[in-house]
A and B are shown apart, each in its own frame.
Chain A
Amino acid sequence: ETGVTQTPRHLVMGMTNKKSLKCEQHLGHNAMYWYKQSAKKPLELMFVYNFKEQTENNSVPSRFSPECPNSSHLFLHLHTLQPEDSALYLCASSQDRAYEQYFGPGTRLTVT
């Protein structure tokens, strides 16, 4: 595997379910990001991790819970989501919070 990978690519879940999104980067970067991409809206930065430490949380509801066990892996734990949380969730990584971020293919999440 190369670059940034995300699993699953597609996820359908009910509002009472608990699921997790996984991101893995194979680039040796030390910063990782979660973005939410909704139609006709700018990418919304959700969380930033630098050297496994969370450095930014953009007022994201607590039903989204990130986890970064090491610099290569990033998770987004989901529980009791709302239909408006349906979106494409993108993971990205970079070196030293530099500007050139490398993105994964995303997880298309549908909340029913």
Chain B
Amino acid sequence: AQTVTQSQPEMSVQEAETVTLSCTYDTSESDYYLFWYKQPPSRQMILVIRQEAYKQQNATENRFSVNFQKAAKSFSLKISDSQLGDAAMYFCAIAFGNEKLTFGTGTRLTIIP
């Protein structure tokens, strides 16, 4: 079974600063996919970024980037130049093969103006 752990229930960051959200996971698979999803207060969950485990290069998407450490089974999300619209719950998730997504418990990110 796969598990995903997000050890930071809440985080806050000053606007325009950088913040890193942590995620660790456990899987016996060698080929899998990792995701960060964002759920703003309006509740619509959206995909922020994805990483294929076979790729060594860390994924980036504008101000969002990941630090993927396969050996350590760590997948952190870095948000640069934080904006008020980044305030949300952030969920880390893993999937392999054609199987379902397994989510972590989430990190609530607050942006301080």
Contact = CB atoms under 8 A, between A and B. Distances in A.
B98 interface: yes
A45 B100 contact: yes
Given A42-B4, A43-B91, A103 B44 contact: yes
B103 A101 contact: no
B108 to A, nearest CB: 10
A24 to B, nearest CB: 14
Contact of A42 (B35, B46, B95, B104): B104
Contacts of A43: 91, 101, 103
B4 A106 contact: no
Given A42-B4, A99-B35, A105 B101 contact: no
A42 B50 contact: no
A90 interface: yes
Given A42-B104, A43-B91, A100 B50 contact: yes
Given A43-B91, A48-B100, A103 B46 contact: yes
B44 A99 contact: no
Interface in B54-113: 91, 95, 98, 100-106
Interface of A: 40-43, 45, 48, 56, 88, 90, 92, 97, 99-106
Interface of B: 4, 9, 33, 35, 37, 42-47, 50, 91, 95, 98, 100-106
Given A99-B35, A100-B50, A104-B44, 20 more contacts: A42-B102, A42-B103, A42-B106, A43-B103, A48-B100, A88-B43, A92-B45, A97-B98, A99-B33, A99-B50, A99-B95, A99-B101, A100-B35, A100-B47, A101-B47, A101-B101, A105-B42, A105-B43, A105-B44, A106-B44
